[in-house]
Homo-oligomer: A and B are copies of this chain.
């Protein structure tokens, strides 16, 4: 992490879904943030009106931060958040659609972890270590609204498994040109399913080789994130879904008895012939730097991709907290007998895979002047 000279003094932020798993992580991270100040907490009607410590079933390994202990939780309606320049949403997808739209309509900047707007053609799906260029869609999103918005917008981050794999893929496309195909098998942590989430009877001494909707998300979101923005006849922008260089992605998603940290076995084929060597791949991954870091976002990791040399790393328990989980680990870069190159990716699903990405996106929005 590093800061920059010209960072803002203080920016008030709100957290929606503040008592949930992602909401708790938002609060833990924001309580130590250099300029985001937690100003309002939103949750369901059942929690509204209670002090945060009474409303929450706190499951983090650090205590409830002092500044929110006695904060009164509010309902998720825009009136309670008007003073917030940024609203982080950890809402579940069954309520996120309506609430986030209401907040955008009320001219609030919403950074969402929910899946609801990821496929919206006017909403950027931003992995902050990869495609901050997609912020360019925000003016069009505002303009399409009726009446046109001045400050409000919705920006989402990606599914936690997508985030892990898309960072090294972006680094490799940057270095070696377009990819042609990509096979991914995930071993995902239980925290990816929220709380109460996965019943212990289903996962202790077990693997569940299925996560509802996950493979489709990975196969679709990756294309939106790795793709660019095209401009049509009348100046209308659209996400190009990597369509100039069709990229075939096949994902197999599994749940394993790991608390935190998604491990993914990835194999890729480059368009370029001959493909780069494993050593060239390692170097390109190590050399890759995110815009977020270059622009001085305080939550950006120094090593966007950390490449392990040990033969048996990365491992979720040992490596998930490196750089506070804000970067991505890669190991076992080697040749693949079917495609070109294969490797193992580890990403902390609740840090870079969720709350940290939203916060980084908001930091990027600040740096880019989209939020003042």
Within 8 A of B (CB), among A141-164: none
**Interface residue? A354 (CB, 8 A):** no
Indicate whether A257 sits within 8 Å of B204 (C-beta atoms), given known contacts A195-B199, A267-B183, A337-B248. Answer: yes
Q: Which of A2-10, A170-178, A237-245, A315-323 faces chain B? A: A315-323
Are the CB atoms of A252 and B219 closer together than 8 Å?
A: no
Complex interface: chain B residues within 8 A of A208 (CB): 312, 315
**Interface residue? A181 (CB, 8 A):** yes
Are the CB atoms of A257 and B209 closer together than 8 Å?
A: no
Within 8 A of B (CB), among A305-346: 311-322, 331-332, 336-339, 342, 344
Q: Which of A65-73, A132-140, A258-266 faces chain B? A: A258-266
Within 8 A of B (CB), among A334-364: 336-339, 342, 344
A202 vs B195: C-alpha distance when bound (angstroms): 9
Interface size of A in residues (CB-CB distance below 8 Å): 61
Q: How many copies does the complex hold?
A: 4
**Interface residue? A119 (CB, 8 A):** no
Q: Which of A35-43, A97-105, A184-192, A288-296 faces chain B? A: A184-192
Complex interface: chain B residues within 8 A of A61 (CB): 317-321
Complex interface: chain B residues within 8 A of A372 (CB): none
**Interface residue? A233 (CB, 8 A):** no
**Interface residue? A59 (CB, 8 A):** yes
The 0/1 profile, CB within 8 Å of B marked 1, for residues 187-231 of chain A is 100110001111111111111111000000001000000000000
**Interface residue? A256 (CB, 8 A):** yes
* The one of B60, B201, B249 that contacts A197, using a Cβ cutoff of 8 Å: B201
**Interface residue? A63 (CB, 8 A):** yes
Are the CB atoms of B210 and A312 closer together than 8 Å?
A: yes
Are the CB atoms of A250 and B339 closer together than 8 Å?
A: yes
Are the CB atoms of A206 and B318 closer together than 8 Å?
A: yes
Are the CB atoms of B256 and A256 closer together than 8 Å?
A: yes
Closest CB of chain B to A164's CB: distance in Å? Answer: 13
**Interface residue? A182 (CB, 8 A):** yes
Are the CB atoms of A204 and B201 closer together than 8 Å?
A: no
**Interface residue? A131 (CB, 8 A):** no
**Interface residue? A254 (CB, 8 A):** yes
A59 vs B204: C-alpha distance when bound (angstroms): 13
Closest CB of chain B to A68's CB: distance in Å? Answer: 17
Indicate whether A200 sits within 8 Å of B257 (C-beta atoms), given known contacts A250-B338, A265-B252. Answer: yes
A59 vs B181: C-alpha distance when bound (angstroms): 35
A190 vs B256: C-alpha distance when bound (angstroms): 14
A207 vs B181: C-alpha distance when bound (angstroms): 25
Q: In the complex, which residue of chain B has the Cβ closest to the Cβ of A268?
A: B338
Q: In the complex, which residue of chain B has the Cβ closest to the Cβ of A251?
A: B337
Are the CB atoms of B259 and A204 closer together than 8 Å?
A: yes
Indicate whether A338 sits within 8 Å of B265 (C-beta atoms), given known contacts A187-B187, A256-B207, A316-B205. Answer: no
A249 vs B336: C-alpha distance when bound (angstroms): 9
A320 vs B312: C-alpha distance when bound (angstroms): 27
Indicate whether A337 sits within 8 Å of B219 (C-beta atoms), given known contacts A209-B265, A317-B206. Answer: yes
A197 vs B207: C-alpha distance when bound (angstroms): 18
Closest CB of chain B to A205's CB: distance in Å? Answer: 5
Give 24 pairs: A residue, B residue, CB < 8 Å, sorted on A. Answer: A61-B317, A61-B319, A187-B256, A190-B201, A190-B204, A196-B199, A198-B200, A200-B200, A200-B203, A205-B316, A206-B315, A207-B316, A208-B312, A209-B263, A209-B265, A209-B312, A209-B313, A209-B315, A209-B332, A248-B338, A252-B265, A252-B344, A256-B256, A338-B339
